[in-house]
Amino acid sequence: MLKTINDEIKQAMRDKEKLRLQTLRSLVNDFKNAGIDKRGKEGLTEEVNSPAEFLTDDEMIKIVQSAAKSRRESIEQYVAGGRQDLADVEQAELDILSEFLPKQLDDAELESIVKAAIAETGASSMADMGGVMKIAQVQIAGRADGKRVSGVVRQLLG
């Protein structure tokens, strides 16, 4: 994933796409920071070109998801505050980040995974939501936003 993003940065520089370049550089910076943290926690002393090399693709996907979630929250706040111009910029950044996320589940796929999790746990009320979410999140693995998943779980259990 890191190589792909670095290639995209080079292309954005060639195409003079400022917003894309800024967004991707920010993402690589997030990878580097996470790599430094991981390296410190694991006590690794190897010399590498980039601390991001210590991250797996799954860890990088989680970082991209976190950045995307941050953009979604900002969009909500900007729209609520009447700043559509800033919301549009955040939406453009979110669109760029979405290119690096796994394909999102559609409603029917998400509902079938949640139904299977409910059957597996034997859940019958909202009190069992935590167990259902735990099992469903493992199967969903970043292919749906947590809010969306909890909404479907609430709908099916409520």
The confidence score (pLDDT) of residue 50 equals: 67
The confidence score (pLDDT) of residue 155 equals: 86
> Mean pLDDT by 10-residue block, N- to C-terminus, for the chain (158 residues)?
90 95 94 84 64 79 90 95 95 93 85 87 83 85 80 85
The confidence score (pLDDT) of residue 153 equals: 87
Are 8 and 77 in the same domain?
yes
Are 62 and 128 in the same domain?
no
Q: Answer with the one of 61, 81, 98 that is the final residue of a domain.
A: 98
Are 48 and 114 in the same domain?
no
Range(s) of the domain holding residue 143: 107-157
- State how far the Cα of 136 lies from the Cα of 3, in Å rounded to an integer: 31
Q: Which is it for the CA torsion 138, 143, 145, 147, positive or negative?
A: negative
The confidence score (pLDDT) of residue 45 equals: 62
Are 20 and 61 in the same domain?
yes
CATH number for the domain harbouring residue 77: 1.10.1510.10
Q: Are 21 and 36 in contact (CB under 8 A)?
A: no
Per the structure, how many domains does the chain have?
2
Are 64 and 122 in the same domain?
no
pTM of this structure? 0.73
Are 77 and 39 in the same domain?
yes
Q: Are 69 and 108 in contact (CB under 8 A)?
A: no
The confidence score (pLDDT) of residue 129 equals: 85
The confidence score (pLDDT) of residue 145 equals: 77
Are 75 and 130 in the same domain?
no
